[in-house]
A and B are shown apart, each in its own frame.
Chain A
Amino acid sequence: MNKDIPAVQMRDIRKVFGKVVANDGVNLDIYRGEILSLLGENGSGKTTLMNMLSGIYYPDGGQIYIDGEPVLIKSPKEAFDHGIGMIHQHFKLVDVFTAAENIVLGLKEEGKLDLKKAAAKINQICSTYGFDVDPNQKVYNMSVSQKQTVEIVKVLYRGADILILDEPTAVLTPQETEKLFKVMRNMKYDGKAIVIITHKLHEVEEISDKVAILRKGQFIGQLITKETNAQEMTNMMVGHEVALNIERPEPVDPRPRVRIEGLTVRSSDGVLKLDDVSFYVCQGEILGIAGISGCGQKELLEAIAGLQPIESGTIEYIEDDGSKENLVGKDPLEIAAKGVSLSFVPEDRLGMGLVGSMDLTDNMMLRSFRKGRSVFTDRKTPRKLAEKVVEELEVSTAGINTPVSKLSGGNVQKVLVGREIASSPTVLLSAYAVRGLDINSSYTIYDLINKQKENGVAVVYVGEDLDVLLELCDRILVLCDGQVSGIVDGREADKNSIGMMMTRLGGDA
């Protein structure tokens, strides 16, 4: 195979979902024997681009070449035929099948189905690369990293020589990540072309030969990793020098509002999600929560909001007069009935915070519809609230009768935050409040959160961008694998030490 011709060339690729341009004018070259990082912020169109290469989506414009030949990739099957295999962020595995059954699924081998032969081949792949997979284990019995391993083995089993990994490290421990990178290097020396989608700069530097950068669906450039540096990549990724200048007023009269002791939470399938977590959050301050995605942030907020069964520990709400209220075992309604005004902006806006098919008014009603004795709902107040939110937060919408699913991500978030702060809460929980939002919308949200803080609200802010956490929060709690790795002062801490704490308990080397 000629190494000078790229294994894959993508030229002027465009993909539109309704009104949203997910990719436009993207050019990409992927060579064999190389690892290419596809870098970009959340929502910059990385996954969409790769989905077009793997046949999940069909591009609206542009051309894809494989080994110099123009091709049309209309389905995942055709992608396989070109040797393209993608490991998705959300695993595409059938739960009730064994590893081996999942791996051979969809293969067009000659002869009858022989799972024993398949198992032998799987074991061989595993021993070559150092994977640990039991071909006869059912997927529903597997851990997340085991499932990912099955996904990778599946692609290798098919003899794919162009591999795409979509944020593979997001769910892995540092050791597992190391192992994965070793395998990726092995595959690279094998002459395979590898794309890794990521938004973590240190991974780009550690693993890749080249880096391609996307920003808001646009192709920004392709660099040789060795010849660039973190600063340059960041600039390309975010578009300008990172100078956030988020305002951070001093907390006024910070007294503990919520105190959590020894909180332990298990997921429904028995996995330990939070392990003996203790901290407090004061009124009038913003407590940031940092951590690799999936290390317990979601469970922590849901436990406080009364949406997550708790194994042990206490969650105490402390009134102004010092009296305490235990929130453990109460559902959102019972918490509200205790006079605790708690607002929650969840991560999954349309899946949990709002109802996509309902209009703005009806979504405003979600929190307030119970008010009053009447069996009928009062739509007047929520309509006024909707109008107020649209006006004050500059929500761009055709009207308050538009279903929220028709709004853009930023506007959806404004509607959600607007509703949550309308009830003048004393505690505000927010998860990834600016995810997928443009810069302007993000600043609107920061301002709103700061205003709440000034009003004496205890704010818990789960974020993924450390720069933002460092500029916005008064204190930052770092979670690592469901445990508290440390709590630092937002004014004094630096990015490096937090990054270390995220990957290692306590952050010590």
Chain B
Amino acid sequence: MFDLVSFIPRAIAQSIPLLLGCTGETLSEKAGSLNLGIPGVMYVGAISGVIGSFIYEQSCGGNVNPFIAIMIPLLACLIGSLLMGLLFCFLTVTLRANQNVTGLAMTTFGVGFGNFFGGSLIKLTGSEVPSISLSATSHCFSKALPFANDMGWIGKIFFSYGFLAYAAIIIAIVTAYVLKRTRVGLQIRAIGENPATADAAGINITKYKYFSVCIGCMIAGLGGLYYVMDYASGVWSNDAFGDRGWLAIALVIFTIWRPNIAIFASMLFGGLYILYLYVPTGGNMAVKELYKMLPYVVTIIVLIVTGMRNKKENQPPESLGLPYFREDR
């Protein structure tokens, strides 16, 4: 029997890093910046939080103040991701470098950065613990709503998550609203579609690109933080985050650049990711890898179908990936 009550919470827990990564990348792509550094940014966000939290936990010897235990990794994560965003913008916007090359370099760098500090943090700080296990911090991050346990399956499906999960959904809704309904969103979308027009309309392209990409990176960084602090219970292991960053980029296409759709689509992707645990394959481990392939296959299908139907609203932002220089002629 397919156990929905246990499946849905796990699918949702899987979906949160994807949703945050996707929301961040959407914001960036809507402004015309194809940031392929997002997987790296998510690693940097995660490890920055881990470093902050590790130092804090080591210094206070297990007696953590919940508020500080949350704020330190949160701030560290946001700062780390912001720096990555600034780097991408400086290279691609200010110095007009190729976005694809810059993004890939950022992913190489970011994943390396995460794994290096993840693997060397103990040695570098001279601590005497066998592995990075931030259970105290993780406890603060994954604390469910107090009444979740009393509400049976409803509580389990809707209220059993740490605060970052709810934050992710709120961030996605807010981002969707900002992009669709506000002046700032209109201007960001105009830059992504047609920067020359936006420029002629008096919009400061540099400012908005920096804004979108940096905020986008910070949102994506939170996805990394959620993964390590909540999903992985504060245990860092190298490469465990895997290809979720790329899956987040796939999700952007799958949701045709709409973060509100991404809330549900990420759950679908998250579900596909763990579906193998719930379908009776008789312990056939190989099949699970095929299930993991599904999100990418459906994304490709979405990409193809929207391309064929050629409905303008569903296309990638027109100037996605292209640099802009006013006096180019």
**Chains A and B directly touch (beta carbon < 8 Å):** yes
A101-B202 CB under 8 A given contacts A96-B313, A113-B181:
no
Contact (Cβ within 8 A) A105 B313: no
Give complex CA distance A95, B312 in Å: 8
What residues on A are CB-neighbors of B329 within 8 Å?
17
Q: B183-200 vs A: 1/0 string, CB under 8 Å?
A: 100110110011011111
What residues on B are CB-neighbors of A109 within 8 Å?
183
> From residue B326, how far is it (CB to closest CB) to chain A in Å?
7
What residues on B are CB-neighbors of A107 within 8 Å?
183
Contact (Cβ within 8 A) A97 B190: yes
Number of interface residues of B (CB under 8 A): 25
What residues on A are CB-neighbors of B196 within 8 Å?
92
Within 8 A of B (CB), among A111-167: 112-113, 138, 140
> From residue A160, how far is it (CB to closest CB) to chain B in Å?
12
Asked if A422 CB lies within 8 Å of chain B CBs, one says: no
A95-B186 CB under 8 A given contacts A80-B202, A106-B198:
no
Q: Which of B182, B200, B327 contacts A92 (CB 8 A)?
A: B200
Q: B285-324 vs A: 1/0 string, CB under 8 Å?
A: 0000000000000000000000000001101001000000
Give complex CA distance A17, B327 in Å: 10
Q: Which residue of B lies closest to A112 (CB)?
A: B182
Give complex CA distance A250, B134 in Å: 95
Contact (Cβ within 8 A) A76 B312: no
Q: B160-203 vs A: 1/0 string, CB under 8 Å?
A: 00000000000000000000011100110110011011111111
Contact (Cβ within 8 A) A76 B199: yes
Contact (Cβ within 8 A) B186 A113: yes
Q: Which of A79, A93, A113, A138 contacts B183 (CB 8 A)?
A: A113
Give complex CA distance A104, B183 in Å: 9
Contact (Cβ within 8 A) A105 B201: yes
What residues on B are CB-neighbors of A106 within 8 Å?
187, 190, 198, 201-203
Give complex CA distance A107, B182 in Å: 12
Asked if A94 CB lies within 8 Å of chain B CBs, one says: yes
Contact (Cβ within 8 A) B190 A92: no
> From residue B59, how far is it (CB to closest CB) to chain A in Å?
45
Best-surrounded residue of A56, A80, A105 (most CB of chain B within 10 A): A105
Q: Which residue of A lies closest to B318 (CB)?
A: A95
A94-B200 CB under 8 A given contacts A56-B326, A113-B183, A140-B312:
no
Asked if B63 CB lies within 8 Å of chain A CBs, one says: no
What residues on B are CB-neighbors of A381 within 8 Å?
none
Give complex CA distance A113, B204 in Å: 18
What residues on A are CB-neighbors of B204 within 8 Å?
77
> From residue B93, how far is it (CB to closest CB) to chain A in Å?
16
Q: Which residue of B lies closest to A86 (CB)?
A: B200
Contact (Cβ within 8 A) B182 A97: no
Contact (Cβ within 8 A) A75 B202: yes
Q: Which residue of A lies closest to B326 (CB)?
A: A56
Q: Which residue of A lies closest to B183 (CB)?
A: A113
Contact (Cβ within 8 A) A94 B203: no
Q: A57-101 vs B: 1/0 string, CB under 8 Å?
A: 100000000000000000111011000001010001111110001
Contact (Cβ within 8 A) B312 A112: no
What residues on B are CB-neighbors of A92 within 8 Å?
194, 196-197, 200-201
Contact (Cβ within 8 A) A56 B312: no
Q: Which residue of B lies closest to A91 (CB)?
A: B197
Give complex CA distance A494, B198 in Å: 46
What residues on B are CB-neighbors of A76 within 8 Å?
199-202
Contact (Cβ within 8 A) B181 A105: no
Contact (Cβ within 8 A) B190 A94: yes
Q: Which residue of A lies closest to B193 (CB)?
A: A94
What residues on A are CB-neighbors of B200 within 8 Å?
54, 56, 76, 86, 88, 92
Best-surrounded residue of B190, B193, B204 (most CB of chain A within 10 A): B190
Contact (Cβ within 8 A) A101 B186: yes
Q: Which residue of B lies closest to A88 (CB)?
A: B200
Best-surrounded residue of A56, A113, A138 (most CB of chain B within 10 A): A113
A96-B193 CB under 8 A given contacts A112-B183, A113-B186:
yes
Contact (Cβ within 8 A) B186 A104: yes
What residues on B are CB-neighbors of A54 within 8 Å?
200
Q: Which of A105, A112, A140 contacts B187 (CB 8 A)?
A: A105
Give complex CA distance A157, B54 in Å: 57
Give complex CA distance A56, B318 in Å: 21
Give complex CA distance A88, B199 in Å: 13
A105-B203 CB under 8 A given contacts A93-B197, A95-B193, A95-B194:
yes
Give complex CA distance A254, B183 in Å: 65
What residues on A are CB-neighbors of B318 within 8 Å?
95-96
Give complex CA distance A79, B201 in Å: 10
Give complex CA distance A97, B194 in Å: 11
What residues on A are CB-neighbors of B312 within 8 Å?
95-96, 138, 140
What residues on B are CB-neighbors of A101 within 8 Å?
186
Q: Which of B181, B194, B326 contacts A94 (CB 8 A)?
A: B194
Give complex CA distance A112, B313 in Å: 23
Give complex CA distance A95, B315 in Å: 12
Give complex CA distance A48, B203 in Å: 21
> From residue B324, how far is it (CB to closest CB) to chain A in Å?
13
Q: Which of A57, A105, A112 contacts B198 (CB 8 A)?
A: A105
What residues on B are CB-neighbors of A79 within 8 Å?
202
Contact (Cβ within 8 A) B313 A94: no
What residues on A are CB-neighbors of B202 within 8 Å?
75-77, 79-80, 106
What residues on B are CB-neighbors of A112 within 8 Å?
181-183
> From residue A122, how far is it (CB to closest CB) to chain B in Å?
15
What residues on A are CB-neighbors of B313 within 8 Å?
96
> From residue B33, how far is it (CB to closest CB) to chain A in Å?
17
Give complex CA distance A93, B200 in Å: 10
Q: Which residue of B lies closest to A111 (CB)?
A: B183
> From residue A119, how far is it (CB to closest CB) to chain B in Å?
14
Give complex CA distance A56, B196 in Å: 10
Give complex CA distance A54, B200 in Å: 8
> From residue B166, how far is it (CB to closest CB) to chain A in Å?
25
What residues on B are CB-neighbors of A75 within 8 Å?
199, 202
> From residue B273, how far is it (CB to closest CB) to chain A in Å?
32
What residues on A are CB-neighbors of B181 within 8 Å?
112-113
Within 8 A of A (CB), among B194-223: 194, 196-204
Give complex CA distance A96, B181 in Å: 15
Q: Which residue of B lies closest to A79 (CB)?
A: B202
Within 8 A of B (CB), among A24-55: 54
What residues on A are CB-neighbors of B199 within 8 Å?
75-76
Q: Which residue of A lies closest to B329 (CB)?
A: A17
Contact (Cβ within 8 A) B182 A113: yes
Taking A92-B196, A96-B313 as known contacts, 6 extra A-B pairs with beta carbons closer than 8 A to each other, sorted by chain A number, are A77-B203, A92-B201, A93-B194, A96-B315, A101-B186, A113-B181
The 9 A-B residue pairs with the shortest CB-CB distance in the complex, in nearest-first order:
A106-B201, A77-B202, A92-B197, A92-B200, A106-B202, A113-B183, A105-B201, A94-B193, A106-B203
Q: Which residues of A contact B (CB under 8 A)?
A: 17, 54, 56-57, 75-77, 79-80, 86, 88, 92-97, 101, 104-107, 109, 112-113, 138, 140
CB<8 Å pairs between A and B, sample of 16: A56-B326, A76-B202, A92-B201, A94-B190, A95-B318, A96-B312, A96-B313, A96-B318, A97-B186, A105-B187, A105-B201, A106-B187, A112-B181, A112-B182, A113-B181, A140-B312
